[in-house]
Each structure stands twice: as structure tokens, then as C-alpha cells.
Structure 1
Amino acid sequence: MSLELLQPRFGKPGHGTAVLRTPAERLKIEDVPQAALARLRRALAAEGAPAAEGDSVAGGPLGDTSHHATTDAAGLSDLGPPAVDWTQAEELAVWHLRLLGYPDARCTRGGADSGVDVLATGAVAQVKHWAQPVGQPPLRDLFGVGQAAAAKPFFYSLSGYTPQALEWANATNMALFAYSADGRVLAQNSAAHMLAPSSARPGGGNLGFFEQARADRYRRELEKLRQEINDLTALMHKRTQSRRPAVRRSAGEAASLLLSASRALDGGDVLPPADRRREDFHQVVREALKQVKRLL
């Protein structure tokens, strides 16, 4: 059996076509996610099946059986080595950091690492293979280590992050990633998306002119909304000191809305920079801030 993987010119973004050939027949499967194509290629390679040369997908020949960054339909993920346990998870983080441009990334197992699981020149990373989302304290600890070492901090979590952790990471511009047992790495905030290699972006390369313009607009809107939240939060705190019970009650309602608005921004920040779904999150925030202004 041989395998040929194709990327049709007008195919669905993030999808390709698999052509399986046997002595008796030829089977063509269309609209297959590229992550699945990569796994199929590696599985057949492990069985000794040859792969025919095809069009390139996500930065390399499809017939190549080595690891390449691959993207799903949303263009959000890299597919690396599996991470079934914590040791493999650290190896996945090493692989991903090398993909991001840190060729000397290595695990720190076996020594005093100050809470750092992966080291590289100019980068430190921590990996949490936990069943629950990572909170703010581990992020603060890693940030402090990075500051002391003049290195950029990266965080990898199996189960994502709490809203408080996302808020703190966005305020400090720390890149957050989540990963899955099959080796999929997902950017969790804007800082992580901006670091994604070109092969992990939609279309397998840099954003087009219109996509880049849309991404820049979303970034400006995000910064404006965050500043507005900060200004209204400061005003809300002043209102909580009022001697009038009605004013304090309104400030309490505003505090709840401001927290929801901040978390909505963080939720949208998980999406790629030019993803149109960001508009929905921004609209939710605008509506919440309108209510806050009426309350204050």
C-alpha cells in the first residue's frame, strides 16, 4: 500500500486529500483535516508503507515522515509527539519551543530547576500535566524566574487555565499554551498566537493583507476595551467608598459586570488574531460596559 497526500488548490482551508493505492484499487478520501493526514502518514510509515510525493502541507513535503507543524481547520494547533504522561509532556514542550525558534531547548529533569521544566537560551517553560486548570500562582512563579534570568516565560497546561490566570497572563504578556495527549498544542492568548510559527497559522503562512488588517483592528479594539475596563474599574472602586448605600450597591453590580467583561475578552483572546469570532466577544464586552456606565 502507498499513500499520497494532496492539498487541492481550492480545497477547504486546513484540509487535504488522502489517496491510498493498493495493487487492486485506488481510494481517494477528500476533506480530511491536516492533523489527521499527518497522523495517517506517520502510522503508515511505522508499518513500512511508502508515501508518494505530493503537494506540501504546513511547511514540508507530505511524503516526509518526520514531524512537521500541522494545522486543523481553524489553524490553531501544532501536532507534535504524543504527551500521555508528564515526561512526554515536557518533551512536547521542548519540541514546541524548538519550533518557535529556540533550538537548544531541553528538559531540566534530574536537577534543581526552580520550577522550570524546560530551558533554552532566552526562554524558560513550565509544564503542568494536571487534570484541573492552572491558576495564577504557578504563572507568577514562572514569570519571576523569567525576569531573574532575563528569559521569556512560556507555560504549557494539559487542562487549560482559570479565568484569573488568563487575566494575569494577558496583563504581563505571558504566552500560554494548552496541549493534548496526541501532541496537539493550542495557543491560549494573544501573546501565544503572535509567537506561533508560520506553519501553524491559517493558510500555512503569514496573514494576507485583509486578514492582517482585520487582526490589527481587533488588536486595537482589544487594547481600547481593556483600557476602558481599567478606567471603569478605578471608578467603581471609588463608588464603593460612598456613604450612600444605593451608590455602593450599584458599584457592586458594576464590579460583577466588569469581571464578566474582562473574562469575555480573555475568552476571545484564545482565538487566532484575525478570527471573525472575536467580534462577537468584543460586542458582548461593549454591551456589558454600557451597563456599567449606567450604573456608575
Structure 2
Amino acid sequence: MTNGDIYDRDYRARRIAELRANAAAKARPQSATGDPSTWTWREAENAVADWLRLHNEQQIVVGRGTHDGGVDVETSRWVVQVKHWGGRVGAEAVRQIFGVATARGKAAMVVTLNGFTVDALAFAEQAGVALYVYRDGQFVAFS
């Protein structure tokens, strides 16, 4: 392990803690309204982008939706995958976005509607991936 690895892990941990601490204080994104389970996948991605904007993230880009390598939203610091589906997100999706984020020198985040499997939680904890669930009009830290 190099000093750069330690710095990256410490930076990611601080950044995740900062986002979690500010999450409760921020208003709900205005891009989508109503019950999140009725949003389209595009409305969910735009809501995540708006939420990140509320947290002062910079250079926010919402992905194309297809052939995006799993990157739904990207900022100057984060690579985000939004899983807007009925089931829980598994470890494979968390590993995929972690790999993309690592290759780009950024932190990884997965945001979903219905939570994560035990394996996904274990991998995210080990790798420092931020996990969030959107419900009741808020983005709630899951890990």
C-alpha cells in the first residue's frame, strides 16, 4: 500500500462522511416530484444530479442512458450508478461502479430505491463505496 492509496481511502472516507452529514439538512431535489417509485429511470437520475448539486458538487453530467458503462451521473469527485428498479442492488453492480470510479480516480456511489443485498453492503463497506436509498422525499445513507 502506498501513501497515495492511504490518501485516496482517507479522502473517500471523509467525502462520504461529509455527504452523509449534510444529507438530512438538504431539501428534496425539484427535478422529480411525488412518490419515487413512480419516477422514470431518467427522473431518478436527474433527481440524484439535483441532490448532488445541492451538496455543492461540481461538473455534474447525467449519462446517456445506454452504453454508459454503468455511469449514470458523474461529478468532479463522484461516479454514480442509479439503480431505479424494484429489487435490491447486488454486489456485482457495486463492484462494477467501484471499478469504473477507481479507473477514473474518483469515489463510487450507488443510489437506489429498494436497498442492497448483504453481499453488496459487505463489498461497499470494504471498498468505501457510498450507498444511498431514496425514499420519503430524501436520500438516506444506507451504509
- What TM-score, normalized to structure 2? 0.72
CA contact under 8 A between 1:108 and 1:117: conserved in structure 2? yes
Paired residues for 1:261-280 under 5 Å: none
Counterpart residue identity of residue 91, structure 2: Q
Aligned counterpart for 1:101 among listed residues 40, 43, 56: 56
**Structure 2 counterpart of 1:170:** 125
How big is each residue's C-alpha offset from its partner over 1:83-104, in whole Å with a ceiling of 9 and x where there is no partner? 4221110011101222233132
TM-score by length of 1: 0.36
Partner of 1:184: 138
Contact in 2 for aligned 1:98/1:104 (Cα 8 Å): no
Cα offset for 1:80? 2.1
Quick one: distance in 2 between partners of 1:188 and 1:137?
Answer: 17
In the alignment, what sits opposite 1:36? none
Alignment equivalent of 2:115, drawn from 150, 160, 166: 160
1:189-212, Cα deviation, whole Å (9 max, x unpaired): 2xxxxxxxxxxxxxxxxxxxxxxx
RMSD: 2.2
Unaligned runs of 5+ in 2: 1-21
Runs of 4+ in 1 over 3 A off after TM superposition: none
Q: Closer, same or farther in 2 for the Cα pair 1:111/1:138, shift >3 Å?
A: closer
CA offsets per residue over residues 163-209 of structure 1, 9 Å max, x none?
111111011111100013x64211112xxxxxxxxxxxxxxxxxxxx
Map 1:184-263; keep pairs closer than 5 Å: 184-189=138-143
The structure showing larger relative contact order (alpha-carbon pairs under 8 Å, at least 6 residues apart) is 2
Deviation at residue 133 of structure 1 after TM alignment? 0.6
Please say which structure displays the higher CA radius of gyration: 1
In structure 1, the residue matched to 2:3 is none
Q: Deviations over 1:217-246 (max 9, x none)?
A: xxxxxxxxxxxxxxxxxxxxxxxxxxxxxx
